[in-house]
Structure 1
Amino acid sequence: MATAYPGTAPAAAGGPAGRVVGRLAWGLGVLAVLLTGYAALHGRFPFPDVYAALPDRYAWVEPAALFDRAYAWVVANRNTSPLFLYGFNYLSVGLGSAVVLINQALTLLAWPGVVLLGVLAAWRVAGGRVALLVLAAFAVFGLTGLWNEAMTTLALITTSVLIALLVGIPIGIAAGRSERVERLTRPVLDFMQIMPAFAYLMPMLLLFGIGNPAAAVATAVYAVPPAVRITAMAVRDVDAGAVEATTSLGSTPWQLLTKVRLPLARRTILLGVNQTIMLATSMVVIASVIGAGGLGDAVYQALNKVDVGRAFEAGVAIVLMAIALDRVTAAAGSGGAARELPPGPRRWRRAVLGAGTLLALGAAAGRLAGVGWLAGWPDALTVSAAGLVNAANDGVQALVGTWAAGFAAALLAVVLDPLRTLLTDSPWWLVVLAAAAIGHALGGVRTALVGGAAILLTGLLGVWEFGMDTLSQVIVAALVTVSAGFVAGVLAARSDRLAAVLRPLLDAMQTLPPFVYLIPVVALFGIGRVPALAAAVVYALPPVIRLVNDGIRGCSAGAVEAAVSQGSSRWQLLTKVQLPLARSSLLLAVNQGIMMVLAMVVIGALVGAGALGYGVVFGMAQNQLGLGMTSGLAIVCLGLLLDRMTQSAART
């Protein structure tokens, strides 16, 4: 007779193990039906034929044509319609001017002034080590000849973060004080957080055109959710005793907010600012696709030319900028608990800061006076590692290039192409029913309706083949990510030494913008779907490993001790006790892994992955707004489908 350890459910039909087995059997059954239907009906009822057979009188509902008409109207009326004359055009000019002004301020300070102020600010806020990191970042910007691009990126990040905080923090404060506001904002934030970054680009392109304003708004909107959520949580979690004491003394709601809630919530709000900055850094690099310029454009142009060396230089600059911003803002949010304060008496610290500020102002005065070497980073101080990197890449290609090409071809022939063919050539209604059946198995009727509707809408948008291609890539990459992440997470949970080794590596990986992951995989595999999938797997692994590790380590010590005392082997302890107890954390790991895979697979269109991401990129490049918008909406549909299915599984 099996022993039920404290805190665990018996492995019966109604327990977690039984539910997992039942869902697996249901999923295999759905796959068998899909394969049978494909074999029996192949070529008879493909979705494009049914869609094309709609009567001509319904042609006006074609989504791509609607968006193309909307784009034509915008182009024709941008300078005459009150909506643009007194709305979006003013906003566009204001945002563009803000980016230009910040960039001009950085240019006015000249490179010595920017370096001095940046390093001194980092030294004051985060200590000597972070100051050295900031100095190294500035050195890389200049020595690689990317100083101007880095300043453009920094100006865009600053503008976007200011917009995100000006919008997000007040909404977060309102949500923290009002349950009604919190309920209203929650679904909106949930929806925004499941949207891949590419889905934000086309609407902004329609409203603001190509350039910095569209990039700034897209980045700000993408970065708003953490500002709202973390601010609301900080305000809501303020010590109730302090609030009651202040209220009993007759404080007004405004005094309560400004004198108690916000000061006590300051540390958590600053952590929200840190997360907002990191998301903005990630998005502003992607926004180079709509004319943002900066370091992201340098990577994009280099990848288009398969110039791995130049892409590597720009990638290193992006990584150092992201890490520097993360360390400085994280130290500011730690309240001094985790930062290394500058040595010496306070008066000496003030003297150093004052002297550095005066030197920076002197550099600005010299720039205004026309001192030549202050006009920009001197060419004599630039070096390039692109040649060495390209030579190293050639050596790697000579060594493993044949193997990598063979692996990529085998993966395409054996896995990716058959799965894509199964999804694209099966009758559309059969795929919709399969999605609904899987949704029902995972979360019931509501999830079934969401799953079926999301897949159906992908077809109604006219991008069925692109959507199924993207879904096939996500399925393969997600299976690899979850499998590898679970194995690594379990091993880390069982070995403190391995966990200590992985921790800084995972920290660094989660700081990197997703764009950067494309560089090494293109160097290894070239252009195509396989490098995009490899980048997606690597990008999504860190949260999966962390959540699995944390979930197993967080299991009840009493349950583990009881299982060991009963003579359980390590395998039995893992499968009968730890994994069932860590179920919620494991399912969250699956959810996060799949959503990050989707985001990266879409970005993989920049290196030849095709599918929906290609529809967005091609639509922007060729002014085909209809294709870009329908592809973007289909990405949102797939995100909604995958998110709801995995979250429903976690709740049941």
Structure 2
Amino acid sequence: MATATPIGTADTAESAADPASTARRLPDWTRRPGAQMAGVLLLLVAGYLVARVVDLPAWLGTFPDALGAWIMARLDAVYEWVVANRNASPLFLYFLNYISVGLGSAVSWINQGLTALSWPGVVLLGSLAAWRVAGWRVALLVVATFGVFGLTGLWNEAMTTLALIITSVALALLVGIPMGILAGRSDRFHALIRPVLDFMQIMPAFAYLLPFVLLFGIGNPASAVVTTVYAIPPAVRITAMAIRQVDPGAVEATTSLGSTSWQLLTKVQLPMAKRTILLGVNQTIMLAVSMVVIASVIGAGGLGDAIYDALAKVNVGEAFTAGLAIVMLAIAMDRVTGAAGHGAHTPDIPPALRIPTLLGGGLVVALGAVIAWMLDVDGWPDAWSFDLASPVNAVNEQIQATIGDASAAAGTLLLEWVLNPLSALLTQTPWVIVVLCATAIGAVVGGWRIAATAGLSILATGLLGVWDNSMDTLSQVLVAAAVTIGLGVVIGVLAARSDVFAAILRPILDAMQTLPPFVYLIPAVALFSVGRVPALAAAVVFALPPVIRLVNDGIRGVSGNAMEAARSLGSTSWQLLTKVQLPLARSSLLLAVNQGIMMVLAMVVMGALVGAGSLGYDVVFGLAQNELGLGLTSGLAIVCLGLFLDRVTQGRKSNA
């Protein structure tokens, strides 16, 4: 006997058996990423509003901090054990202490060597080396750089920074280039090391500090190690890429002639990859310059200390003076190593005269050092230095008197109408809903793997016990990133459509990308004093150059045939941009978004040095007060935020 089936039951059963059929019956607009993102935002706002009017259980509101407190206590116990056993445990006695003493001695010896040369010897050595590698124009730049060190009264601090950079870069290249060669010749090793390098490049610089302080304490050894580790990834990546891009025909021909693996490497691969490897050296040096300034927080000394102390006192003049010295050092090192890579301006010295030229240069340097020693020259003469801080402070006071009220009003407006509401939305919405929204964003942009990574990354910030500060940091990153991407896309589009504008913009972007991130805080403090606003302003300016470049390159790379076809169909300039160029440049635009957001995160965290608070402040406070638990959990939370932001801005690209 047949059983009657209620109306609609068969359809329901069919839908349950075939979820795809249900999805097909949904309106088309619900399957669009924009609509799905809007739905996620509505869920977040609804959760916030419900939490404001309904008395939720305590565990559902603010993230429970019991586990985070336990983790911090355990980490503090680890720190206490390390301090108590640093001179007793075999791990320190026979391994880490040797590294610490060795690195500290290396920095000290190089510094003593620079001191022994005296300032005339150092100037001669640097300028002659720059001339031999990069030509007379770069040599003049190097002389000007040394002049800035002396004239600003920062010669000794500059030599300390230079000694630390030399030590760190030598170690980074000593480790990174062989690893890069191995990764270039071994697919298995390349696949093994790639996720490690990805993770290292996701981590903001501040997150590197705490682990090395735990192992090596405060001072030059920890600074040298953290700078070395931070600078290694480009040496490995670019060397591996250079080896892999060597002409396969040349490799096959050499192999067919019976060359050994060592001969293939030394006679073919390394010579043909030389220029690209030198680009890796350049990038390694620039990252070392950037990190050695940040490492002033853990006692690196030198120019970084001068900037750090000036920012702590809100002394714009002193910060500007030290920042100028850092900028000149970065530009000079970039130009020297960059010129070594392409060799365009290297002096054309006949082979027979190269060794005599080298010996003659060494003799000139030695003669300069000997004359300085005979004249009892001890450092840069104080009479040759002048006070640059006072006039800069006077100019800053005049600027504040002129536009100070306007900048303060703009900052207040940003805080009250954008930043504070967004921070409240993320911190006061039930944490479960925030985690669900993060997971949903990952699902929209990249599928279930990205969704799981995004949700777990945000969840981890709460489990570490720093939920509120993590959400506040995230709110700052989102605001600064929105401004950065908006400005970057507009300027990048204008540069792509005007060769004249692009030519004017290129040297400005080159200079901006050479500057260490610390330096961007100085003008921001001059305009907005201290707080979250200057940190956001510095983050926007710091992250703009790569966004502009990537947007410009992406649009210029659109096929000319596609553009011509669109024009022949009568498309307007706006239609060409929105219907052809931007869609076809999608991969470059996604990379621009990713790079912009990651650089904003790095700078927002560093903004703790000018009063931005949140996770960056917890790291600095943990370092200053020996509270490893707070500092390390905050550093790990920064990494989790970086992982979340990196994956959700790369997800759709990886799944395209």
1:640 maps to: 643
8 Å Cα contact 2:61-2:428 kept in structure 1: no
1:204 maps to: 212
Quote the offset at 1:33 in angstroms. Answer: 1.2
Quote the offset at 1:365 in angstroms. Answer: 2.9
- State whether structure 2 residue 233 is matched by structure 1 residue 222: no
Tell me the alpha carbon deviations over residues 431-465 of structure 1, each in whole angstroms, 9 at most, x when there is no partner.
Answer: 00010011111111111111110111000000001
**Match for residue 426 of structure 1 among 425, 429, 448:** 429
**Match for residue 213 of structure 1 among 221, 237, 241:** 221
Secondary structure at the aligned position of 1:376 is classed as: coil
1:10 maps to: none
Tell me the alpha carbon deviations over residues 567-615 of structure 1, each in whole angstroms, 9 at most, x when there is no partner.
Answer: 1100001111111110000111000000000000000000000011001
Tell me the alpha carbon deviations over residues 251-291 of structure 1, each in whole angstroms, 9 at most, x when there is no partner.
Answer: 21122112221122111111111110011111111000000
Tell me the alpha carbon deviations over residues 468-514 of structure 1, each in whole angstroms, 9 at most, x when there is no partner.
Answer: 01000000000000000000000111111100010000000000000
Tell me the alpha carbon deviations over residues 534-558 of structure 1, each in whole angstroms, 9 at most, x when there is no partner.
Answer: 0000000000000000000000000
1:24 maps to: 34
Aligned partner letter, 2:330: A
- State whether structure 2 residue 280 is matched by structure 1 residue 272: yes
Quote the offset at 1:61 in angstroms. Answer: 7.7
Q: In 2, distance between residues paired with 1:246 and 1:60?
A: 59
8 Å Cα contact 1:103-1:152 kept in structure 2: yes
Tell me the TM-score normalised to structure 1 length: 0.93
- State whether structure 2 residue 365 is matched by structure 1 residue 360: yes
8 Å Cα contact 1:313-1:386 kept in structure 2: yes
Quote the offset at 1:29 in angstroms. Answer: 1.3
Where do residues 154-165 of structure 1 align in structure 2 (5 Å cutoff)? 154-165=162-173
- State whether structure 2 residue 387 is matched by structure 1 residue 375: no
2:6 maps to: none
Q: In 2, distance between residues paired with 1:635 and 1:429?
A: 20
Q: In 1, distance between residues paired with 2:362 and 2:599?
A: 42
2:404 maps to: 401
1:503 maps to: 506
8 Å Cα contact 1:116-1:357 kept in structure 2: no
8 Å Cα contact 1:47-1:428 kept in structure 2: no
Q: In 2, distance between residues paired with 1:391 and 1:152?
A: 29
Quote the offset at 1:238 in angstroms. Answer: 1.3
**Match for residue 263 of structure 1 among 264, 267, 271:** 271
1:4 maps to: none
- State whether structure 2 residue 627 is matched by structure 1 residue 627: no
- Alpha-carbon spacing, 1:151–1:20, altered in 2? closer, same or farther (3 Å): farther
Quote the offset at 1:19 in angstroms. Answer: 9.8
- State whether structure 2 residue 307 is matched by structure 1 residue 299: yes
1:441 maps to: 444
**Match for residue 110 of structure 2 among 97, 102, 112:** 102
**Match for residue 297 of structure 2 among 270, 283, 289:** 289
Aligned partner letter, 2:531: G
Where do residues 329-368 of structure 1 align in structure 2 (5 Å cutoff)? 329-334=337-342, 336=343, 338-339=344-345, 341=347, 354-366=359-371
Where do residues 557-576 of structure 1 align in structure 2 (5 Å cutoff)? 557-576=560-579
Q: In 1, distance between residues paired with 2:252 and 2:416?
A: 67
Q: In 2, distance between residues paired with 1:505 and 1:348?
A: 39
8 Å Cα contact 1:192-1:225 kept in structure 2: yes
Secondary structure at the aligned position of 1:79 is classed as: coil
Q: In 2, distance between residues paired with 1:19 and 1:584?
A: 23
- Alpha-carbon spacing, 1:75–1:244, altered in 2? closer, same or farther (3 Å): same
More moved, 245-254 vs 281-290:
245-254
Quote the offset at 1:339 in angstroms. Answer: 2.0
CA RMSD across the alignment: 2.0
- State whether structure 2 residue 544 is matched by structure 1 residue 541: yes
- Alpha-carbon spacing, 1:50–1:585, altered in 2? closer, same or farther (3 Å): closer
1:139 maps to: 147
Secondary structure at the aligned position of 2:246 is classed as: coil
Quote the offset at 1:102 in angstroms. Answer: 0.6
Q: In 2, distance between residues paired with 1:297 and 1:551?
A: 40
More moved, 471-480 vs 28-37:
28-37
Secondary structure at the aligned position of 1:62 is classed as: helix
Tell me the alpha carbon deviations over residues 361-420 of structure 1, each in whole angstroms, 9 at most, x when there is no partner.
Answer: 123334555x33x21000111012111100000000000000011111111011111111
8 Å Cα contact 2:63-2:467 kept in structure 1: no
- Alpha-carbon spacing, 1:600–1:226, altered in 2? closer, same or farther (3 Å): same
8 Å Cα contact 2:60-2:432 kept in structure 1: no
Quote the offset at 1:359 in angstroms. Answer: 3.2
Q: In 1, distance between residues paired with 2:592 and 2:228?
A: 27
1:70 maps to: 78
More moved, 170-179 vs 234-243:
234-243
Q: In 1, distance between residues paired with 2:451 and 2:58?
A: 22
Stretches of structure 1 that go unaligned for 5 or more consecutive residues are: 1-12
- State whether structure 2 residue 526 is matched by structure 1 residue 523: yes
Tell me the alpha carbon deviations over residues 609-635 of structure 1, each in whole angstroms, 9 at most, x when there is no partner.
Answer: 001100100000111000100000000
Q: In 2, distance between residues paired with 1:425 and 1:37?
A: 9
Quote the offset at 1:87 in angstroms. Answer: 0.8
More moved, 123-132 vs 254-263:
254-263
8 Å Cα contact 1:270-1:329 kept in structure 2: yes
Q: Alignment length, in residue pairs?
A: 628
- State whether structure 2 residue 119 is matched by structure 1 residue 111: yes
Tell me the TM-score normalised to structure 2 length: 0.93
8 Å Cα contact 2:530-2:610 kept in structure 1: yes
8 Å Cα contact 2:68-2:466 kept in structure 1: no
Quote the offset at 1:239 in angstroms. Answer: 1.5
- Alpha-carbon spacing, 1:128–1:438, altered in 2? closer, same or farther (3 Å): same
- Alpha-carbon spacing, 1:101–1:193, altered in 2? closer, same or farther (3 Å): same
- Alpha-carbon spacing, 1:550–1:50, altered in 2? closer, same or farther (3 Å): closer
1:6 maps to: none
Aligned partner letter, 1:287: A
Secondary structure at the aligned position of 2:181 is classed as: helix
8 Å Cα contact 1:46-1:426 kept in structure 2: no
8 Å Cα contact 1:616-1:631 kept in structure 2: yes
8 Å Cα contact 1:46-1:427 kept in structure 2: no
Q: In 2, distance between residues paired with 1:183 and 1:575?
A: 38
1:44 maps to: 56
Q: In 1, distance between residues paired with 2:215 and 2:34?
A: 45
**Match for residue 242 of structure 2 among 234, 239, 244:** 234
Q: In 1, distance between residues paired with 2:412 and 2:457?
A: 31
Where do residues 448-467 of structure 1 align in structure 2 (5 Å cutoff)? 448-467=451-470
Stretches of structure 2 that go unaligned for 5 or more consecutive residues are: 1-22
Quote the offset at 1:166 in angstroms. Answer: 1.1
Q: In 1, distance between residues paired with 2:389 and 2:63?
A: 49
8 Å Cα contact 1:48-1:464 kept in structure 2: no
8 Å Cα contact 2:120-2:372 kept in structure 1: no
